[in-house]
């Protein structure tokens, strides 16, 4: 990866409801807002990211056509409405048909990375939202990634999802299908009563830290503000400046990501008063 080449980040979880799409959404909006051309890729046939960003597709090229080679990556990139510097390769439920193509490919883990090559100089960051199960779409997303973020709900199910997702990454690394880095584990929906974490959230976070160590990021606390922000296609701070603290875990994530995105490092340093 050169200084003029995009970094590819992947939001990865093998269970639904872990915060995977919200992570891709928040990172994409925040990086683009700093003036860095950002490409989001909706790799989930449920197309949640496509819907959240308000990108409408009607018989237009999607990620399916890109993966299968029926169109170029350039033809499947759409601007996100009302957002400067933010673009999307959308998906729909037909994306499940990419499974057959990838399963018959000699090296499916490298297909998406190869398809992205023509636009690597056009973006600072490419962020992929993957499907919540172990399949060939996920394997090609892992193979493309320079860095991986694992969201995990701060409950027992989240611990199970984290360990399963980590095991898949290690399996891909051992098989030479992944040579990137785990950027961080992002705990989601940590419930707080008063100013204290609930017992379940506290126990879950301690278990995550014991398993994953210093890559554990601060918790994304449970809040209806995130859903309101998603409904309006905005960041929490854009709806209400007093909610800026809800973005703190993502701000730290951007700091870690800046090691791989030189333009982000510059933008963050200029955004902080000397």
Please, what are the averages of pLDDT over each run of 10 residues along the chain (274 residues)? 79 92 96 97 95 87 96 96 96 94 93 97 97 94 97 90 94 94 91 76 89 89 89 92 93 95 91 60
Q: CB-based burial of residue 243 (10 Å sphere; 0-12 exposed, 13-18 middle, 19+ buried)?
A: middle
Is the overall model pTM greater than 0.85, yes or no? yes
Q: Which domains are delineated in the chain?
A: 7-260 (3.40.50.300)
| Structure tokens that stand for 249 in this block | 């875990």
pLDDT, position 155: 87
pLDDT of residue 235: 95
Q: Could you tell me which residues are beta bridge partners of residue 73?
A: none
133 within 8 A of 165, measured Cβ to Cβ: no
Whole-number pLDDT of residue 274:
43
SS3 (DSSP) at 16:
coil
Q: Which residues have a Cβ under 8 Å from the Cβ of 222 and sit 6 or more positions away? A: 189, 190, 191, 192
* Structure tokens given for 179: 């040579």
Helix, strand, or coil (residue 93): helix
Paired with 58 in beta bridges are none
Instruction: Identify the three-state secondary structure at position 182.
Output: strand
Neighbours of 158 (CB within 10 A): 28
Number of other residues whose CB lies within 10 A of the CB of residue 39: 26
């Amino acid at each position: 990866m050169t200084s003029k080449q995009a970094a590819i980040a992947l939001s990865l979880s093998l269970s639904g409801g872990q915060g995977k799409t919200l992570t891709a959404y928040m990172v994409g909006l925040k990086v683009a807002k700093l003036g860095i051309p950002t490409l989001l890729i909706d790799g989930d046939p449920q197309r949640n990211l496509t819907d959240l960003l308000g990108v409408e597709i009607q018989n237009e090229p999607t990620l399916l056509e890109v993966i299968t080679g029926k169109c170029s990556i350039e033809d499947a990139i759409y601007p996100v409405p009302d957002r400067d510097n933010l673009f999307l390769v959308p998906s729909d439920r037909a994306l499940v048909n990419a499974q057959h193509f990838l399963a018959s490919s000699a090296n499916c883990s490298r297909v998406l990375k190869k398809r992205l090559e023509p636009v690597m100089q056009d973006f600072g960051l490419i962020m992929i939202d993957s499907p919540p199960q172990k399949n060939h779409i996920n394997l090609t997303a892992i193979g493309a990634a320079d860095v991986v973020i694992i969201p995990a709900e701060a409950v027992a199910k989240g611990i199970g999802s984290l360990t399963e997702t980590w095991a898949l990454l290690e399996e891909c690394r051992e098989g030479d299908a992944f040579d990137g880095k785990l950027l961080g584990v992002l705990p989601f929906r940590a419930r707080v009563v008063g100013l204290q974490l609930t017992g379940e959230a506290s126990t879950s976070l301690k278990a995550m830290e014991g398993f994953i160590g210093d890559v554990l990021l601060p918790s994304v606390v449970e809040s209806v503000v995130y859903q309101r922000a998603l409904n309006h296609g905005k960041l929490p701070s854009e709806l209400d400046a007093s909610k800026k603290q809800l973005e703190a875990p993502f701000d730290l994530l951007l700091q870690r990501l800046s090691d791989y995105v030189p333009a982000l490092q510059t933008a963050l340093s200029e955004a902080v008063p000397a």
